[in-house]
Amino acid sequence: MAPEAKTRLSHRTRFVLGIYALLALPLAFLTVFVYLPFFWGFISSLYEFEIGASARFVGLANYREFLFKDPVTWPSFLNMAFLAGWGVMVRLTVPLLVAKLIHSLSNERSRHMYRILFLVPIVVPGVAIQLIWGIMIFSDGGLVNEFLRVIGLGGFAPNWLTDPHSALIAIACIGFPWVGGFEVLIYYAGLSAIPDSVNEAARLEGCTGIRKFFYIDVPMILGQLRLILILSIIGGVQTFENVLILTRGGPGFATTVPGLWMYYNAFSFQRMGYACGIGVTLFALILSLTALNLRYFKGAESLEG
Amino acid sequence: MELDVTANKPVPSLRGERRRKEWGAHAALLVFCFFTLAPFLFVLNNSFRSTVEQQRAFFGLPSAFVNMWSKEPVEVLDENLQRTLIPAEQCFSYFLNEATRGYQLAREVLHDYLLNTLEVCLSVALGVVIMGSVVAYLLARYRFPGSRFVYYYIIATMMFPAVLMLVPSYMVVRELGLLNSFWALFLPYLAGGQVFAIFVFKGFFDGLPEELFESARLDGAGHFNLYTRIVLPLSKPVVSVVAIMTILGAWNNFMWPFVTNTDGSFHVISSGLFVMTRTPVAQNMGTLYAAYILSSLPLLLLFIAATKPFIQGITSGAFKA
Amino acid sequence: MRDYSLWIRMAKFGVLALVLALLVWCLLPQGQAAGKIGPQAKSSSAKYNIRVAIGQTYMPGTVPLGIGKELHGMADVVGAFEQRFPDTHIELITVPFDREYLVTQLSSGSAPDVVNVNVEDVWTDVQKGWYLALDPWLEQPNPFIREKNDPALPGFEKWWDMFKYQAISRGKAAPDQLMYCLSYDMVETGIFYNKDIFRKAGVEVPNTWEEMLAVMAKLEAFGVTPMTMYVDSFNDWGTDLIFDQLYYSLLPGIDLLQDPLREPYLQGYLDWDEICFLFQKGYFTKSDARYRDVFRIMKEWRRYCSADIVDSRLMLTDFVRQKAAMHWNISQLVYRLGADKDLGFEWGVFYLPTIGKATSKYASGNTMCVIGGSANQLEVTNTAFSDSRDPASSERLKRVMAFLQFICVPEQYEKVVNEYPCFISNIVGVESLPPMKPFVEILERPYTTTKWVFTFDLRFCDIQRRLLELYLNDAMDLDEFMRWQEDNIRTATDNLILRKPMDMAKMQVRWDELAPARATMEDLPSGS
């Protein structure tokens, strides 16, 4: 018994060691290129420091300043909440609607064609898309204002991105009609995965159209919805490139988001430590939102299951 | 894993009614399509127009296209900014050259970047697929001490804000002496890209039925065989999704290649385009737009060629949190 | 449905073929193309490969604004230089001077040897050793002039003497009084106006500020946008010009320090130390009536500008499309307007007139000063002496400096700066191109009292710009603006005091001495 146990154990040990060996390289990469920089940033947030100059330990002063003293902080969080909330909303609804519409078509070829058509824009670089919207759609000589003039509302035509009252809304409108090809595919996949028996049963029960959509389809694709929700929230908190390219966070601070403020502090204002403080705060926010998310949705799923 | 085309198989008696109903869906989808794609048509149009032309009027057909068919001589400014007349018979070739000037300039600039990009993207995609699937397979199929920790260790990095990491990552790459090289892009992309891959692969592997492995194991297949004979063939669609998404990510990231390329010897498309917007070439807006179009081509090609597996991959259920 | 399938397949095939063909076209090998970004062919024999980011204005291969010929002047100059220095290869590169780029590259010593950035982006970095002070070289002869054996030539004694606009060039010194940049050429601003619209609206070029306001009112009634300008122009140029108009008469009472180096060129210039000291005395705060008036006048002016002052693209297009009668811009625009055969209107240039008492009771009545100045500012980075880590012994640095000295020699300079009308010559003996004439005249005016966005850091500049965006767009009133601006200046002066040792006691002594002069002045801030 004893020798056998020993060989089993050593076999098991060897097996586990093998796994660790396979994991070593990926984890080493992750540690060097992701964790190392992350902790470096984390530690930097406790210092007042400029790249290239000496650092001075300041404890939690950066966090205190960001959370309690900086007048930009709260407006920027509100902007972020608005943009992220809006992003989550449209990414949960419009692509779903489109996916449902496509799914409802009887012709397989047109279903295929629509999915590809909506997917095409992802080949265009993101920078280009932002510029297109800034220049072509929202500038004063752009599509929207020219259209308003054509229909006789020229007097109303606002300076979309440069008026403090409309800039945030204009940013939210970018990407109209918000049909992300990727999301459409995911929802479509979810809808396709609903078993025939369920659809058939629903049809027999007379549950069709909008009712079927809400009572059958939506609960059946909760997993996909949750995935998009998490990705949208993480993206919504982190993203600032669009604002940087379009308005630089202006006019004033009307479209500044915390990520952008971090960027400005890191590179323009030479306050790397402060910027790292903002970054860590954002990380904490994303972490807690994701945890909340998972908990809430797990609850919903177990109810359903 | 085949597409389920039977889900909505039309019932014959309802066919006519269904048709009529579908017109509404078609109309709505076409409207969505139009608005989604319209901006790109503008870019295409403006890629044939010069800066001066674009400043004068925002909308409009490229004047070079119009002049190409001119039956009369057209007055233009020559290289020395003197007014000269182009005879009608030369109009076509002259204005064809004018219209495509943006493309010619853009091509000169993009040539090397395209090659570099292809090199980086393809190797990163390959590396990410191999590393990601192996790690995900280990995490999904085996229990071992620390497996949960490893999983969270990997997944947690998805929440690290990118800007926070930019400067420190740069320092790391610099210390390793990788600046201005293929490796400065390849290694960090591989390190970061595997996370998403692991997430997706694990989602897919978790869904594979246990019996599949049981029977193979009874046949005497080892761990390695299980992986290569069973798992990989099954996950072809997921592989294509991961590969495409990795390529997309590497393709669109501009900040990183931009800062790690200190001597400009290894620019890729995205950073090259970004550099381009800050350089004299961008003074000709047509060139800039043309560059956007040209730089989208490889992805477009990839897309046209690989839509099917891509769609299948996403449909396969791996994208379900 | 079946008949369509063939078409669809053919369409798909067609698109595929087209994309493939274009892609192959892109990837086909091509000759060394002009206008190419990135490294040029490295000459194998060269011992020193020096990278010079010359900036976009003179980059060989550029077709400026897509009009006319490709530039080649700088390439010719480099060729001539390499002939004289066979062991050196000058690589002209284009890099984007975004902060991310500069910070990462300079901190790792991998930046180009010579960069071209505005000196205000530089001075907060000089103490980190990222840039080299050029004074020792500027005070020495330019060897390429020296070899001509003519002591009358500027540059024979000191390289400095070669520069035409001494006040502006020397005004680019950093707070530590060292010169980190070479003011290679000059730029000037002017108001471009549409002569046709002026004629039709029955207005003339204004001679006073009040006339200008009246002209703008008439143009507005005529149905055009009187003027287009960019919020950055208000931020950078507008603030300084109006400030100079209101504070000029105060200078005898507040100009505390005479910088021995710069005073001969910049009479009465308010330096960093003085701004910081005066701020502590209550100047440039919300209780400083003059400072408040600066922004009141600006708002009055802004009312005649286009509704949108943030979207820089509109400024030019509105002028070109004859929607706007005037446009404030830099001399480079001459090239754009001159090369447009379909422009369809006559244009001219004038400069901002003097502000009179009717506009502000604090108006000094002095001539409106100039605001332009150094255009391309070349800095030498720490890369240039990376071979020995010591500027004194670096062989590489010798080549870098020789190159900078070489491109300043009139025969070479002529080839570069006068290749097309864009900027103004800053080298004695090289006349600017004829289209630059109005701007050369404007540049003869006295230099501004201070440059606000240059005095402080990028943060001050950025915040002031944001505040102006809000204030000038009526999203913030003057009181609120002044409150924020005071905070902004406080942060900026604190930052400055942290970085630069200041002799406050000395200024206090001088301050007390000047008390009688100030006694005669009205409405000074209560702090004095």
Look at A165 and C475 and tell me if their CB atoms are within 8 Å.
yes
Domain count, chain B: 3
Q: Which residues contact C182 (CB under 8 A, 6 or more apart)?
A: C134, C377, C378, C379, C404, C408
**Which pLDDT value is given to residue B1?**
37
Please, what is the angle between helix C289-302 and helix C478-499, to 10°? 120
Judge whether residue B19 has pLDDT over 80. no
pLDDT along chain A (305 residues), means of 10: 56 84 91 92 88 83 91 93 93 92 86 84 76 76 78 78 85 84 86 85 83 86 85 85 83 90 84 90 87 66 36
* C314 chain-A contacts, CB cut-off 8 A: 139-141
| Residue A190 included in any domain | yes
Q: Is C162 in contact with C154 (CB distance < 8 Å)?
A: yes
Task: Answer whether C486 touches A (CB < 8 Å).
Answer: no
Q: Output phi, psi for C379, to 5 deg.
A: -115, 150
pLDDT tens, chain C, 528 aa long = 455 677 777 887 888 888 888 888 877 776 544 434 334 444 456 788 899 988 888 888 777 877 778 888 999 999 999 999 999 999 888 777 777 788 878 877 788 999 998 887 777 788 788 899 999 999 999 999 999 999 999 999 999 999 998 888 888 888 778 899 999 999 999 999 999 999 999 999 999 999 999 999 999 999 999 999 888 889 989 999 999 999 999 998 998 888 776 777 777 788 888 999 999 999 999 999 999 999 999 999 999 998 888 877 777 888 988 989 999 998 888 888 888 878 889 999 999 999 999 999 999 999 999 887 888 999 999 889 988 888 889 999 999 999 999 999 999 999 999 998 889 999 999 999 998 999 999 988 888 888 888 778 888 888 999 999 999 988 899 999 999 999 999 998 988 888 778 888 999 999 999 999 998 888 888 754
The C-alpha atoms of residue C94 and residue C100 are separated, in whole angstroms, by 15
| Residue A150 included in any domain | yes
Residue C290: count of CB within 10 angstroms of its CB: 23
Tell me the three state secondary structure of residue A267.
helix
| Residue A193 included in any domain | yes
The C-alpha atoms of residue C298 and residue C240 are separated, in whole angstroms, by 11
The residue of C12, C24, C26, C376 whose CB has the most chain B CBs within 10 angstroms, and thus the best one to mutate to test that interface, is C26
> Which chains share 3+ C-beta pairs under 8 angstroms with B?
A, C
Look at A32 and B248 and tell me if their CB atoms are within 8 Å.
no
**Which pLDDT value is given to residue C240?**
92
Tell me the three state secondary structure of residue B93.
helix
Q: Which residues contact C454 (CB under 8 A, 6 or more apart)?
A: C119, C120
CA distances from A209 to A73, A212, C115 (A): 46, 5, 65
Sheet of strand C424-425: strand arrangement: C373-374, C185-187, C424-425
The C-alpha atoms of residue A126 and residue A180 are separated, in whole angstroms, by 13
Note which residues in 55-114 of chain B have CB less than 8 A from chain C.
55-58, 75-77, 79-81, 83, 101, 105, 107-112, 114
For chain B, how far is it from start to end, CA to CA, in angstroms?
19
Cis check: omega of the bond before B280, within 30 degrees of 0 = no
| Residue C228 included in any domain | yes
Residues C235 and C289 in one domain: yes
Residues C340 and C390 in one domain: no
Q: Is B47 in contact with A130 (CB distance < 8 Å)?
A: no
Residues B159 and B75 in one domain: no
Q: What is the DSSP code string of A187-248?
A: HHHHHHTS-HHHHHHHHHTT--HHHHIIIIIHHHTHHHHHHHHHHHHHHHHH--HHHHHHTT
Please compute the mean of the pLDDT values over residues B199-210 and round it to a whole number: 85
Residues B175 and B240 in one domain: yes
| Residue B250 included in any domain | yes
Domain count, chain C: 2
Q: Domain span at residue A138?
A: 61-304
- Give the one of A117, A123, A199 whose C-beta lies nearest to B33's C-beta: A117
Cis check: omega of the bond before A251, within 30 degrees of 0 = yes
Look at B274 and C51 and tell me if their CB atoms are within 8 Å.
no
Judge whether residue B7 has pLDDT over 50. no
Q: Which residues contact C254 (CB under 8 A, 6 or more apart)?
A: C247, C270, C274, C278, C283, C514, C518
| Closest chain B residue by Cα to residue A294 | B321
Look at C62 and B281 and tell me if their CB atoms are within 8 Å.
yes
**Which pLDDT value is given to residue A257?**
93
| Residue C15 included in any domain | no
CATH number at residue A298: 1.10.3720.10
* A102 chain-B contacts, CB cut-off 8 A: 25, 29
Look at C462 and A269 and tell me if their CB atoms are within 8 Å.
yes
Look at C66 and B263 and tell me if their CB atoms are within 8 Å.
no
Look at C66 and B57 and tell me if their CB atoms are within 8 Å.
no
The type of residue at A185 is L
Task: Answer whether B179 touches C (CB < 8 Å).
Answer: yes
Domain end call among B80, B99, B118: B99
| Alpha-carbon gap: C382 to the closest alpha carbon of chain B (Å) | 14
| Alpha-carbon gap: B164 to the closest alpha carbon of chain A (Å) | 5
**CB half-sphere exposure, C287, CA atoms < 13 A:** 10
**Which pLDDT value is given to residue C31?**
54
Pairing of strands C189-194, C185-187: unpaired
Look at C103 and B167 and tell me if their CB atoms are within 8 Å.
yes
**Which pLDDT value is given to residue A19?**
87
Residues C364 and C385 in one domain: no
Q: Is C460 in contact with A268 (CB distance < 8 Å)?
A: no
Look at B264 and C27 and tell me if their CB atoms are within 8 Å.
no
Task: Answer whether C308 touches A (CB < 8 Å).
Answer: yes
Residue C270: count of CB within 10 angstroms of its CB: 26
Q: What is the pLDDT of residues B37-80, one digit of tens each?
A: 887 888 888 888 887 887 777 678 888 888 888 888 888 877 77
* A238 chain-B contacts, CB cut-off 8 A: 161-162
| Residue B290 included in any domain | yes
The residue of B103, B172, B263 whose CB has the most chain C CBs within 10 angstroms, and thus the best one to mutate to test that interface, is B263
Residues A31 and A157 in one domain: no
Residues C338 and C472 in one domain: yes
- Give the one of B28, B190, B248 whose C-beta lies nearest to A29's C-beta: B190
Q: Which residue has the tokens 């506009």?
A: C359
* C103 chain-B contacts, CB cut-off 8 A: 167
- Give the one of A109, A161, A252 whose C-beta lies nearest to C470's C-beta: A252
B12: DSSP letter: G
The C-alpha atoms of residue A194 and residue B17 are separated, in whole angstroms, by 24
The type of residue at B58 is F
Both tokens of residue B225? 């065989």
Residues B82 and B158 in one domain: no
Task: Identify the H or E element spanning C169.
Answer: helix C166-170
pTM metric for this prediction: 0.85
Residues B167 and B141 in one domain: yes
| Residue B2 included in any domain | no
Sheet of strand C347-350: strand arrangement: C225-228, C324-330, C189-194, C347-350
**Which pLDDT value is given to residue A281?**
92
The residue of B22, B36, B37 whose CB has the most chain A CBs within 10 angstroms, and thus the best one to mutate to test that interface, is B36
**Which pLDDT value is given to residue C37?**
39
| Residue B284 included in any domain | yes
| Alpha-carbon gap: A269 to the closest alpha carbon of chain C (Å) | 5
| Residue C525 included in any domain | no
Please compute the mean of the pLDDT values over residues B229-237 and round it to a whole number: 84
| Residue C308 included in any domain | yes
Q: Output phi, psi for B98, to 5 deg.
A: -60, -45
Q: Domain span at residue C112?
A: 48-162+377-422
Look at C341 and B301 and tell me if their CB atoms are within 8 Å.
no
- Give the one of A110, A189, A240 whose C-beta lies nearest to B317's C-beta: A189
Look at B33 and A104 and tell me if their CB atoms are within 8 Å.
no
Strand partners, C370: C447
The type of residue at C366 is N
User: What are the DSSP E strand ranges found in chain B?
Assistant: 74-77, 83-86
Tell me the three state secondary structure of residue C328.
strand
CA distances from B207 to B202, C89, C134 (A): 9, 61, 68
Judge whether residue B13 has pLDDT over 60. no
CA distances from C208 to C22, C35, C364 (A): 59, 46, 13
* C100 chain-B contacts, CB cut-off 8 A: 166, 255, 258-259
Q: Which comes out higher in pLDDT, residue C430 or B105?
A: C430
The angle subtended at Cα A102 by Cα A96 and Cα A107, nearest 5°, is 165
> Which chains share 3+ C-beta pairs under 8 angstroms with C?
A, B
Residues A128 and A244 in one domain: yes
Both tokens of residue B18? 């269904």
Residues B179 and B296 in one domain: yes
- Give the one of A139, A163, A251 whose C-beta lies nearest to C314's C-beta: A139
| Alpha-carbon gap: C225 to the closest alpha carbon of chain A (Å) | 14
- Give the one of C19, C23, C104 whose C-beta lies nearest to B167's C-beta: C104
- Give the one of A177, A224, A275 whose C-beta lies nearest to B35's C-beta: A177
Pairing of strands A56-57, B83-86: unpaired
Task: Answer whether A252 touches C (CB < 8 Å).
Answer: yes
Please, what is the angle between helix A222-238 and helix A272-304, to 10°? 170
Look at C101 and B258 and tell me if their CB atoms are within 8 Å.
yes
> What is the largest distance, in Å, between two alpha-carbon atoms of chain A?
93
Closest CA to A50 of C186, C507, C102: C102
**Which pLDDT value is given to residue C34?**
40
Residues B164 and B308 in one domain: yes
% of chain B with per-residue pLDDT over 70: 88
The type of residue at A224 is Q
C208: DSSP letter: B
CA distances from B151 to B199, B213, B238, C57, C128 (A): 9, 22, 19, 53, 42
Residues C63 and C156 in one domain: yes
Q: Output phi, psi for A170, to 5 deg.
A: -60, -40
What ipTM did this prediction achieve? Answer: 0.80
- Give the one of A124, A185, A262 whose C-beta lies nearest to B40's C-beta: A124
Q: What is the pLDDT of residues B136-159, one digit of tens each?
A: 999 988 888 888 899 889 988 887
Task: Answer whether B34 touches A (CB < 8 Å).
Answer: no
Look at A19 and B10 and tell me if their CB atoms are within 8 Å.
no
Residues B86 and B106 in one domain: no
The C-alpha atoms of residue B67 and residue B95 are separated, in whole angstroms, by 7
- Give the one of C311, C458, C467 whose C-beta lies nearest to A161's C-beta: C311
Q: Domain span at residue B40?
A: 12-46
CATH number at residue C240: 3.40.190.10
**Which pLDDT value is given to residue C510?**
92
- Give the one of A140, A251, A268 whose C-beta lies nearest to C462's C-beta: A268
| Closest chain A residue by Cα to residue C108 | A52
Q: What is the pLDDT of residues A264-284, one digit of tens each?
A: 888 778 788 899 999 999 989
Please compute the mean of the pLDDT values over residues B118-122 and round it to a whole number: 90
Both tokens of residue C211? 């006339």
The C-alpha atoms of residue B27 and residue A107 are separated, in whole angstroms, by 15
| Residue B6 included in any domain | no
Q: What is the DSSP code string of C87-125?
A: TEEEEE------HHHHHHHHHTT-S-SEEE--GGGTGGG
Residues B252 and B172 in one domain: yes
Residues A20 and A77 in one domain: no
| Alpha-carbon gap: B74 to the closest alpha carbon of chain A (Å) | 28
* C480 chain-A contacts, CB cut-off 8 A: none
Residues A66 and A165 in one domain: yes
